[in-house]
Every structure is written in C-alpha cells, then in structure tokens.
A and B are shown apart, each in its own frame.
Chain A
Amino acid sequence: MNKKIKVNVVKNVLQANDLVAGRNRQVFKENKVFALNLISSPGSGKTTLLEKTIPALKPEHKSIVIVGDLQTTRDADRLSDQAQQAVQINTGMSCHLYANQIAQSLSDIDLKGADFVFIENVGNMVCPGEFDLGENAKVILLSVPEGDDKVAKYPTIFRVADLILLTKVDLLGALDFDLKRVKEDLSKLNAKATLIELSSKTGQGMDQWLDWLKAKRTEGIGRQARFATE
C-alpha cells in the first residue's frame, strides 16, 4: 500500500528575498535616502553614467554607490573618488544582486548625510527584475547599440521600470535605430514611465536626468517601489 504525504505550502518563491528587501526599504526611509536600482545589459553605460551623475549632483547632494559585478572591483574603483562611499559586491556565479547582499553592504555604510544610493546591478536584463532590493525606483538603461527591438524582447523589466534611459544617443546617427519603435513598444507596456534620451559622452539629456532624480527624491523618499510586495 502506498501512502502519500502532501504538505500544502502556498508561498511566494521569492518571499525570502522580498522580506529582506522590505527591511532595506525601511532603512532607506529612516535615513531619508532615495535608492535606485540601475538595471541593463552588460556595457549599456551604467558606470559611465554614474561617473557623470555623482559629481553633477554635488555639492548639494551626496551619493553612495553599491556596485554588483560577477568579478573585479573595477566599477567601484571608478566611482570611489566622487561618491561618499563606493562598495563593490562580487556576485561570483550569480547574475543579479540579492536583497541580503544589499542588507550586508548597508551594515558597512554610513547613510548619514547621504541623499542618493545608486545600486548598479549586474549587467543582465532578466534576473535583476525578479529580485527586489528595496529600492525606491527602478531605472532601466537601454543603449542604442543594443537595438530597437529590446523593449518587446524584455517586456517584464520595461513594464516595472519607473524610468527608462535610452543611453548612447550620440550613436543614433551611426546606427539604424528606430526610436519610434522603442516608444511604441514602451507605450504598450508602461505609459507611466518616463523615457529620457541621454548621452554620457555629449551630455545630452543629463539635465533632464538630474531633474528627474531630484524631483523623485523630494516626492518619494520612502515611497514604495512599484514592484514591492505589500
């Protein structure tokens, strides 16, 4: 005779991560810092953008950077001069950051006096979308060389984005990139998200990006990010 023991669980598989993310969100709120999760494919220009953004926010605003990469401390090194503190997390095998890696970093970071926490996620358009870090806003970078079909190919990440930065727009003339297609695909997924055309090289769109940051920070310190589970 066979007997089957069945245990009903009914639990969100990502619950463990979401719980820690919720705690991170609380830490950001208590310290009145605005935290951003920067997500893109490898090489879309996340670090370059932060190299330009952090000095441009000074002296009014101080920034902290947490950078996730599989290997090396290169990106944190690039940012350590300008940021109040730059922390590198090596994720090894993992293609995304976990909330508990942020929680651990936060125990080494002094958030006092800081206004922004920029979290540069591991270059990847898929997995980082699954793992809430407790950020206040998700910023997705899409660079012109990646092609104009990416919004439709990675709908999930663009749907939950608060802001989309189309980066490397200085290359628009050199490549067949249909900006209209990107806007159309985006409007089908997420009419509320802002799209900023930006070039870290020429500075185009930088003011718009800085204004967005400041406005969102003022309006939303402690606000729930759109993917938050609650």
Chain B
Amino acid sequence: MHELSIAMELVSQIVEAAEANRLPRVDEIELEAGILRLVVPEIMQTAFQEAARETIAAGAALILTEKKAKVRCNQCALVFEPHVDDFTCPKCRIADAKVLEGDQIILKSVSCNLSEGNGK
C-alpha cells in the first residue's frame, strides 16, 4: 500500500516536469524502481492511475522497470547483490552493508505524443 504514497509524490513530479517543458499532456512515463523498495508493479499501476486522476498525466502509460540491488560490505568492501531479506556478505557472513544501488525510485522521463492536427 506504500505504492499510493509513492504515486502521489510521482504525480507531483510529473506535473512539474510537464509544466516546465510546456507539454500539453503526458502520455507516457518511465519509472525505475529499485528492488529494495518492494514496489509491486500491478499495485503501482493502479496507484498511479488513481493518483493521476484529474491531472495532466491522467490515463498515461506507466512504463515500470526494476533496478537490481548492489551493496558494499562495510567490513570487507566486497560488492554483492543482496536478497531483500538477506544482506549477509557472502565472504564475511555479516549483514553490514551500504546500499549502492536499488533503493531509489527514479522518474526517468515524461513523454507526450503529438499527432498531426492536434499538436503544433
């Protein structure tokens, strides 16, 4: 259910980007979710459509990609891919790692399709 909290932040960024670039509307959004954020794609889709209602992004297609996690062990500096529920370093067997990748949700792009006749 945290997807809705995230979607509301997402929509305000989409609206900001669209306005700054004078897009008449938003048809497509690319979003990259780090796997550690545990975003469920189907729920994110629904949450996004809900949050986007009555905004410039209403009905837009949300293209969601997942980013794998990468962490560095604070003990031995080994860089490895953890499981969401297991951060144990394969070398020193201690879960004490700094996340390098996979804990962010990034709005990558916002697009608008202009077909002949409706755009300028």
Contacts A94-B5, A127-B1, A189-B85 given: A9-B110 contact, CB under 8 Å?
Answer: yes
Q: Which of B106, B107, B112, B116 contacts A1 (CB 8 A)?
A: B116
Q: Are A13 and B112 in contact (CB-based, < 8 A)? A: no
Chain A residues near B115: list those with CB within 8 A.
1-3
Chain B residues near A180: list those with CB within 8 A.
none
B96 at the interface (CB under 8 A from A): yes
Q: Which of B13, B21, B96, B104 contacts A191 (CB 8 A)?
A: B96
Chain B residues near A187: list those with CB within 8 A.
95
Residue total for B at the interface (Cβ-Cβ under 8 A):
38
Q: Are B95 and A156 in contact (CB-based, < 8 A)? A: no
Chain A residues near B5: list those with CB within 8 A.
94-96, 127, 130-131
Chain B residues 92 to 113 lying within 8 A of chain A, measured CB to CB, are: 94-96, 104-113
Q: Quick one: closest A residue to B1, CB to CB?
A: A126
Output the residue of A3, A14, A130, A152 with the most chain B CB within 10 A.
A14
Q: Are A9 and B85 in contact (CB-based, < 8 A)? A: no
Contacts A126-B2, A130-B2 given: A7-B111 contact, CB under 8 Å?
Answer: yes
From residue B26, how far is it (CB to closest CB) to chain A in Å? 9
Bound CA span A17–B96, Å:
27
Q: What sequence of 0s and 1s flags, for each residue 1-24 of chain A, a beta carbon within 8 Å of any chain B beta carbon?
A: 111111111111111110000000
Chain B residues 13 to 40 lying within 8 A of chain A, measured CB to CB, are: 13, 17-18, 21, 23, 31, 36-38
Total number of A-B contacts with CB less than 8 angstroms? 107
Bound CA span A15–B110, Å:
17
Q: Are B109 and A11 in contact (CB-based, < 8 A)? A: no
Q: What sequence of 0s and 1s flags, for each residue 62-75 of chain B, a beta carbon within 8 Å of any chain A beta carbon?
A: 00000000000000
Q: Are A12 and B108 in contact (CB-based, < 8 A)? A: no
Q: Are A188 and B114 in contact (CB-based, < 8 A)? A: no
Q: Are B37 and A190 in contact (CB-based, < 8 A)? A: no
Bound CA span A145–B21, Å:
52
B10 at the interface (CB under 8 A from A): yes
Contacts A188-B85, A190-B95 given: A8-B109 contact, CB under 8 Å?
Answer: yes
Bound CA span A77–B84, Å:
39
Q: Which of A13, A94, A192 contacts B106 (CB 8 A)?
A: A13
B interface, CB within 8 angstroms of A: 1-2, 5-6, 9-10, 12-13, 17-18, 21, 23, 31, 36-38, 84-88, 94-96, 104-116, 119
Beyond known contacts A3-B114, A9-B110, A191-B96: 14 more, CB 8 A cutoff:
A1-B115, A5-B23, A5-B111, A8-B109, A10-B106, A10-B109, A11-B17, A12-B105, A14-B9, A16-B12, A95-B1, A131-B5, A155-B85, A156-B38
